[in-house]
Structure 1
Amino acid sequence: MWRKNRSQSKNSYCIGTDLNRNFDANWCTKGASNRPCDETYCGEFPESEPEAVAVANFLRRHKDSMKLYISIHSYGQMLLFPYACSNDEVPNHRDLLELVEEATMKISKHYKNHYKYGASAKTIYLAPGGSDDWAYNLGILYSFTFELMDKGQYGFLLPPSLISKACNEALIAVKSVALRVIEKTQSRSEPRWP
């Protein structure tokens, strides 16, 4: 299992770029590395990787109709929101905090698993170049990163017996946040979703 993609660096024998450091949101500042052999290598330039280009181009094309963006990662059991690229609070910080707090409570109720939540840089660490920060700056004001279970006992190699639980927890969080975003963004003239 790899943290980075499989692209070959032009200037090193090392393989891969951390795709969650390859977007143009305070790209390659503190919390990322410009050294190709490091796990947090940010790439040669923002969107240097085809995976990042594909996501960025899709979001650019659909930004006016998108209300919600979620990047799903492992591991750590956290529901996070911008910014990861700086310690600054986004203007709708309280709104985003309310949504992830509600989602974590629902996960705890159903699965007795406790998730940390909050602004990424203040909850976990600085991570410049992330897709959620980039999407937020693009205008998708409900942008999140969900870090799946667990808290480190298994790390990236979750045993098969826990995969279903991890998926169900993620689904609870996605549903909770998505329904609240619909409530907050849908105009009164549009039909309501069930």
Structure 2
Amino acid sequence: MQSLTVYSDTDTKLNAIKTYVGQRGFDFLKITKSRQIPIDVLVTKERLQEFKNTLRANNISYNITIDDVSEIIHKNKEQTEQQNGKRVRRAPRSRINLESFATYTQIVSYVNFLQSRYGEIVEVFSIGKSYMNVDIIALKISSGTGDKPALLIEGGNHGREWISVSSALYIMQQLIENPRNREIFENIDIFIIPCLNPDGYMYSHQSDSTRLWRKTRSTNRFSLCRGTDANRNFDIQWGYGEASVDPCSEIYIGREAFSEAETKAFRDFVLPLQDKITTYVSLHSYAGFILYPWSFTNISPPNLRRLNCVARRVRTAMARVSGITYPIGNSHDLLYPTSGDSMDWVAAHTRINLSFTIEISGGDYGFLPGIQHIIPTGNKIFEAIKVFAQSVDGRICNIN
């Protein structure tokens, strides 16, 4: 498998490339409407020559960014194994290695430790079971009793997006184990689902050959291909736009909306709390955007001014520590029309006022960040969470 960066400077060229979206053998990691932003795509060996012929026939320039993706996967695995054998940097009393990508077993162990050590502010629970009957672990961080508005943070929707999970863990560690951050949740509660898709996440940890697994692990009728793209499976314009009805596609929508145990668990957790949660943040990787609704249309949501205000403040906070300025806007205009994602479902079918996605930018190899990027990325996302926390109770951007 090769990783290509493709440059489409006209609509004709972009349309020629987009004919491959959703097809077997192609995994579009980053594709936008902008002719200024290049497209990143993984192509299997079997489809590679065909794709390159199409590019040449349409006078589309490209670079081979990674000649053999499996080599990078193996290199990152060796780095992780070496790091696990070293003395690691941890917060006082912490039991999570913040310099390595945790397994799901380690995540569960860590959140249980947090509850046992910081039970006065931490409550651990399961929002439901995955397809493989694994508990989808979540925790609530609260400074006390009372009816407080809440922030919901979710990572690990896609199995291979390890940096979204490590960022959620970093947020947990900073909020709970660093006393200086207690003021962040003095007047609000915070819910964190570090890994919504534990089956896919665990499968992506199994071997080099499974590292890029994106979907859930459910079986599909009449197909040997497994899994559904959980972020195309929510009941919001389901099946519209850049999505696929092919079970072997990376963006397969599932047999019906909410066909997946994981998306149903999320729905059933959120709906009873929709009058408590005011801000929702979904962590993904690796395009490097701050997104808000809608993904399926360019019609502006009614609270656009407030969404844009919060997003701008988040962008400033992240740039202050990273030097990287993320574009902000709705997914439909910045990326491409999609449907069935959690951000839009929350915005359309709950009373949660603010719904966002952060597409975390990658490291040396974009979609495969090395362990050296875990802490800097976590710190960047934590700065964003500080701003989102201020939006929960109207301390910032309290506008219509």
Structure exhibiting the larger radius of gyration computed from Cα positions:
2
Q: Kindly indicate whether the alpha-carbon contact (under 8 Å) linking 2:279 and 2:391 is maintained by their aligned counterparts in 1.
A: no
Which of 19, 36, 57 is the matching residue for 2:247?
36
Paired amino acid for 1:87: N
User: For residue 180 of structure 1, what is the aligned residue in structure 2?
Assistant: 391
Which structure carries more relative contact order (alpha carbon 8 Å, separation 6+)?
1
User: For residue 225 of structure 2, what is the aligned residue in structure 1?
Assistant: 14
Give the root-mean-square deviation of aligned CA atoms: 1.7
**Residue 183 of structure 1 aligns to a residue in which SS?**
coil
String of CA shifts for 1:130-174, please: whole Å, max 9, x gaps. Answer: 001001112212001111122x85232111001111111111112
Cα gap change, 1:180/1:64 in structure 2, threshold over 3 Å: closer, same or farther?
closer
Q: Kindly indicate whether the alpha-carbon contact (under 8 Å) linking 2:314 and 2:384 is maintained by their aligned counterparts in 1.
A: yes
- 2:354 is the counterpart of 1:142: yes
Matching of residues 38-187 of structure 1 within 5 Å: 38-137=249-348, 138-150=350-362, 154-183=365-394
Separation in structure 2 between the aligned mates of residue 95 and residue 153 of structure 1, nearest angstrom: 34
Separation in structure 1 between the aligned mates of residue 259 and residue 336 of structure 2, nearest angstrom: 23
Alpha-carbon shift at residue 85 of structure 1 (Å):
2.2
Separation in structure 2 between the aligned mates of residue 121 and residue 86 of structure 1, nearest angstrom: 6
Separation in structure 2 between the aligned mates of residue 42 and residue 12 of structure 1, nearest angstrom: 14
**Residue 287 of structure 2 aligns to a residue in which SS?**
coil
Structure 1 stretches of 4+ with a deviation exceeding 4 A read none
Q: Kindly indicate whether the alpha-carbon contact (under 8 Å) linking 1:85 and 1:130 is maintained by their aligned counterparts in 2.
A: no
| Bigger mean CA offset, 107-116 vs 126-135 | 107-116
Alpha-carbon shift at residue 181 of structure 1 (Å):
3.1
Paired amino acid for 2:356: F
Structure with greater strand percent:
2
**Residue 394 of structure 2 aligns to a residue in which SS?**
helix
Separation in structure 1 between the aligned mates of residue 376 and residue 334 of structure 2, nearest angstrom: 23
| Bigger mean CA offset, 163-172 vs 21-30 | 163-172
| Bigger mean CA offset, 153-162 vs 61-70 | 153-162
Q: Kindly indicate whether the alpha-carbon contact (under 8 Å) linking 1:72 and 1:148 is maintained by their aligned counterparts in 2.
A: yes
**Residue 178 of structure 1 aligns to a residue in which SS?**
helix
| Bigger mean CA offset, 2-11 vs 125-134 | 2-11
Paired amino acid for 2:271: R
Alpha-carbon shift at residue 180 of structure 1 (Å):
2.5
User: For residue 191 of structure 1, what is the aligned residue in structure 2?
Assistant: none
**Residue 283 of structure 2 aligns to a residue in which SS?**
strand
User: For residue 192 of structure 1, what is the aligned residue in structure 2?
Assistant: none
Separation in structure 2 between the aligned mates of residue 106 and residue 184 of structure 1, nearest angstrom: 16
Q: TM-score, normalised by structure 2?
A: 0.45
Separation in structure 2 between the aligned mates of residue 142 and residue 45 of structure 1, nearest angstrom: 26
Separation in structure 2 between the aligned mates of residue 104 and residue 116 of structure 1, nearest angstrom: 8
String of CA shifts for 1:84-103, please: whole Å, max 9, x gaps. Answer: 12222100112101111111
**Residue 291 of structure 2 aligns to a residue in which SS?**
strand
Q: What percentage of aligned pairs have identical amino acids?
A: 35
Separation in structure 2 between the aligned mates of residue 105 and residue 96 of structure 1, nearest angstrom: 14
User: For residue 235 of structure 2, what is the aligned residue in structure 1?
Assistant: 24
User: For residue 148 of structure 2, what is the aligned residue in structure 1?
Assistant: none
Q: Kindly indicate whether the alpha-carbon contact (under 8 Å) linking 1:86 and 1:128 is maintained by their aligned counterparts in 2.
A: no
Paired amino acid for 2:360: L
**Residue 67 of structure 1 aligns to a residue in which SS?**
strand
Q: TM-score, normalised by structure 1?
A: 0.90
**Residue 10 of structure 1 aligns to a residue in which SS?**
coil
Point out where structure 2 has 5 or more consecutive residues left out of the alignment: 1-210
